[in-house]
Structure 1
Amino acid sequence: MAFAFALTQTLFSLLLLLPIYSTVAQTNGAITLGASLSATDNSSWFSPSGDFAFGFRQLSNTDLFLLSIWCAKIPDKTIVWYANETLAPRGSQVNLTADNGLVLTSPQGQQLWNSSSLNVASGVMNDTGNFVLKDSNSNEVLWSSFNNPTDTILPTQTMENEGSLFSRQSETNFSKGRFQVRFLDGNLVLNTINLPSTYANNPPYYIGDNNNSSPGIQLALNESGYMYIVRENKQRFVLGEGVVNSETDYYYRATLDFDGVFTLYSHPKTSIGSWTVVWSVPENICTDIFLENGGIGACGFNSICTLKDSRPTCKCPPGYSLIDPNDQYSSCKADFIQGCEEDKLSSTKDIYSVEELTYTDWPTSDYLRLEPFTEVDCRNSCLQDCTCAVAIFTENKTCWKKKLPLSNGRFDGKFSGKSFIKVRKSTISIPGSYFPNPNNTPDREKKNQDGLIIPGSVLLGFSVFVNFILIGAFCYGFFFIYQKKRNKINRGSSVLDINLHCFTYKELQDATNGFMEELGKGAFGIVYKGAIQMGSNIPVAVKKLYNFAQDSDKEFKAELNIIGKTHHKNLVRLIGFCEEGQQRLLVYEFLSNGTLADFLFGDVRPNWKQRIQIAFGIARGLLYLHEECSTQIIHCDIKPQNILLDKYYEARISDFGLAKLLMMGQSHTNTAIRGTKGYVAPEWFRNMPVTAKVDVYSFGVMLLEIICCRRSVDMASGREETAILTDWAYDCFREGTLDALVEHDMEALEDREELERFVMIAIWCIQEDPSLRPTMRKAMQMLEGVVDVPVPPSPSPFTTTTSL
């Protein structure tokens, strides 16, 4: 009896659990009407084999999700389709409906996207990676992801005439990019497009065979990884190279990557391995994408495209910087104002110099051809022409003058000409403003000069006595103004040599509302948020320094002169200062995205590319301080708390120079972490000469923090072997366990070669022997991949090796 009762209970329990098991253990890929997924959990609709999944994928460092299809069994979960560029906030839902098919709605019920399908009976997630919606009557396919591709084609997927793929804007930005692949008139063609429109620039890059009399009617990728064009006569024209891998053991995909290269990839179906390039086109996108009639090329305007490992890299020429610092493929802007009217404002004619670039060409943007011409005349002609930005001199004694914006810039080893790019000399500045004052016109000046005639005539008409009285009053007034000016200069003598504003203490007290809102504090003072009126309401950060001895005034003013003359996009700009009695205050520009420490050590790990761009920015700023400004500045306090981020997350070094000023006499007692390797270089403890290499050491520590998104010292983890980041990083490098070092950050591990290079650079920078550390210039070259990075030794001073 007891056995029967137990059996009944067991069967009853199984019946209750059956609906749950049937939902989880979906095996046929079928989706019924009314089914839904939410952008809050990890639920997905899987294909029968589990190879592909349909659902929401959360984007890195955001609370946004992408409705997409991805490869479910490989570690990086590669996305192969997504619902256009529609981003869904957390809590959004996708529902399968009869009237509209797939419907994506926001948490508020607003429709974000739908598949626009009528009379839908069911959906199916196939093992091919194709999600289809079927008709309620004939079981006909009404809509499929294969017929609405984004940037990828999968095996068994075909593309008919006029079909197209669009690239993403970047690896992590799924907005429509500027590259397009179309199957057009029997050929595969690659274009750039003029966003935000869909206008395709001509001529396109052709991938096909125009010599065959039978036109192509379809593009296909088969399960063995062969991509080919099917012709009317049933013949096939195979694109790219053959594939020797077994179709049962590998995944394949053909993707128009965000950098414009159309690539066929393979990936072993085991979880071990990564996507490998089978073939890609074009061979050299920098030179093969050539636009005769304007439009953007492989890189943005005013940029230079260089091929590296079959992929394009884009860099700005000297004197130019990225419009969007987070996107190396964006256009570049001049870091100076150039124009005929602007040049007139300069008091000197010699305001430009030219930088010579080898193997660099901008084949379009010509406005004038000079022939025959000499190289010297070509340079000088551009220097003296206010509309000329670049001059190209070729072997046939032709000078091509080009104007902004420059397009199709490329590094080409076969180019034998010379490029001369015009940049403004850093020591020359236009008085007042780079922009002409609309009120300061010639007519206005003439009117002012004419106005002097009347009082002059009156003076001449007065008696000698009256003139004497007027001259005396004038002299007295001049003397009064001179004395007032002299007193002001004595009160703030630092303003003699620098273009900084001297504030009164009362002005800064009012600007900060009585020093009410504290932004942070450090070893030298407290920083307050404020706003000052300088033509407009400008947000500022006011640092109120702690009191220090009067004999420091001379050094303070000398350092202030040096800092005031620095100007670099990776340095926080010093706007002004105050020195009244014992009060010492510094006024900096306010940067909205806080410190690098807040950015790195928060709850959400920032994406890899953004972190690397920040590292580049810090390196550029330190290189400027060490080698490129008029007087070498050793920062002496490089750490994440002293790196600020602007609205574009561009890194800006703050507090430069002041650490040396205030801490020089007591550095051996004011280290960041006593007895461990923190940000402070070992020579501070050993009475060794302090050089720029102390900043290199601190940069190396911080580079490891950027790579790993963790603090240099973490005693709270409870793991002694990982507590000191510099020691652990070398151990991981030596043992080949970088996965553990970055906590299996898939974005960082996607380019393991780059990750390893950055770790090696950091280890070189933290060598305890200063002579082994690279200079910031060499560190910058290693970061950029311009020079090779040798295998670093142990940072321990007991290891001897060849100096860099």
Structure 2
Amino acid sequence: MKLSPLLTVTLSTHPLGCQVLATLHSAFTLTVGYAIGIWLKSGDGNMTVVWTAKRDDPPISSNSTLELTVDGLLLKQGSDVQGQVYVDTEPAGFASMLNSGNFVIYAQESSSPVAVPVWQSFHHPTDTILGGQNLTIRNQLVSSMSTSDRSTGHYFLAFQRDNDLVAYPINSSAQSLDAYWASISMNLYGVEQLNLDTEGNLCFDHVLPCLVNNSNHQNQPQNTSSIYRATLDVDGNLRLYEHLFEDKEGIDITILWKARSDECQIKGFCGINSYCSNTNGNARCQCYPGFVPCNNETTGRNAMFLECKLNYSKDDCERSGDRNFLLYNIVSLEEMWWDGYPYWAKQMSMGACEKSCKTDCDCGAALYTNGQCNKYSLPLRYGSKASNELDTGMALFKVPSGYVFRGNTTTSSPKKPNAIDNNRKGLILILASTLGSISFLCVVFVVSIFFTYRSQVHRLAKLSASSKLGFTEECSLRSFSFDELVKATNGFTEEVGRGSFGAVYRGTIGENNRIRIAVKRMERIVDEGEREFRAEITAIARTHHRNLVKLVGFCIEGSRKLLVYEYVSNGSLANLLFKTKKHLPLKERLKIALDVARGVQYLHEECEVCIAHCNLKPQNILMDELLTAKLSDFGLARLSKPEFSRNRADKEVTTGYLAPEWQKEALVSIKADVFSYGIVLLEIVCRRRNIEVNVPSPEEVLLSTWAYHCFATEQLHDLVVVAYQEEDMDWKTLERMLKVGLLCVQDYPSLRPSMRDVILMLEGWKHIPIPPSPSPSR
């Protein structure tokens, strides 16, 4: 094997951190091992990795052997193949480590005087290309996790279909919103590769001007030589380095060019709910006001990729109701920007914007720009301060009262001084005594009023209960008479749907019949007392979320029990998926899947009382005029008759939406909703029902079984060929949605993720493990 004096190929030590271990097989426990790599030497003894074989595989032991074949490298430990880098075929003739840093394998010697290369490392780049190497449209650069961990990191650089070279976060949707650097301004039509020559010029194929024209190469001192490399570094920045050697010993490493001068312009440099600020050229990540690092033990305060979470519970906001403006203050940050679309936007003053966010439990933060208040739900992505973005503005964050954020901030209330001057202590003591006396007198006055009107308040409470006044005010519901609903629905003539608990009719109320409503006649509920029915409706009425259908009223007259909902105009998700031919791009389907997931997560984790839907299916998911998904029929499971619940369970099992524990009469938890959501997600991806009889083969009858077969055999095209006939397919997003759906439909509830994890995985913020077969028998 020929070796360059400046580059070597060797078995190198591979220390692993806990973050790398999370990506390895669970049975692997070693913390130190070896990996195959090409290293660039330097004079100080340090080495720079420029290529790694099978970078995401576990490390190997010291007794491993490396064999050269005509298809690449084959790694063996003893007589067993421990990790195959490429397919095993006939042995190669010889290999050579070229001065360019290219490791080349040649075929067996033949009568031909010219050796034939059959494999070379330059055709399989990891995070680096060297002088004389090309990055083509058939491969990409992927950053490393860290300087000591060479496994797949957080960013990738690749050519798009339009021939632009673009950099994205690795777990993003790879859409324009996620790109943080692109060659779009260079008119690269027809370009198929990026070239780095041996003189340090970084250019596109036959396109001028170059990204880098290295004019310093001709001015090098004598007895020196340079090796150039372009690396997509750990932080996602593409940099061009020059390694200057004198007498074959490294004397200097220089950065000649970098794609982004400010690391805060790199999307994903800071994790969710944190923002990037650049002071004196040093980018750092900080949590937003009201947030704390997700893991204080493993994440430094200013560390790259810092992820943060709320330091207070949203349950407090829900319980406080209209009084939550007393529970929170507003802290603001100037010149802020983050990515995403607001769920609510309106022109108003900044003071009104602060008040609107304080009283809205869904408002995680607001961005006030050009007189417009934009409210966002969590998590917040790609945040930065003093960015060059045009949409920078004043960011408003809701924090608990008494919270102190130290930084360049302003608050909606005056700041408290850190210390008090000794000369003013006497005045403060007098004021405190006076205020204490006034407070005492006020307490005495209030107590006297309380006891004076105690009997009247008690009688008023009884009157309210009997006249339904208290119930209506508490839940902001309207009590309708049966005759009013007969008139509103024109005698229940226009049926718009039929759910598990009864038929639904369209109607109108209000002045000039402007308000459209949907009236559900509860036909299959227990004949319980009026008080018990009101208690269940109270729990439903206290839910407030943009992905839930809003309950606006009720009617109770003897055995007649009806519920009045807001009218959702675009019908059910089942009609959209299975009965219409409307084109639904994958991006739109991902949005619908996230809407449904957020609605279920709210019922499971953010309500005052945890609510299991127990009837999640496309027929119970309604679509408004903006194609926002809203869940219906939630909270009604406890109202159903026992025999109806059993009959419904038997029927729904045949359609596949109910979890296996229903059929086994096992304990049913909120994980049953996760199973139903997984079936719905697979139907959204494939645009076919869970159970189809008219299919070419028996294994395609059950969608979850067919989906796992296509995933395991890497035949995703067979799964979605009907649903995406002419769509420019984003296979990475589709695979991410498919893997999440298969994780949700596992037979054992403990293997299913929580809805919070489902959302993070769909958005690309959480690693998705390889799903096992949904059922052990499959």
Q: Return the TM-score normalized by structure 1.
A: 0.45
Q: Return the TM-score normalized by structure 2.
A: 0.47
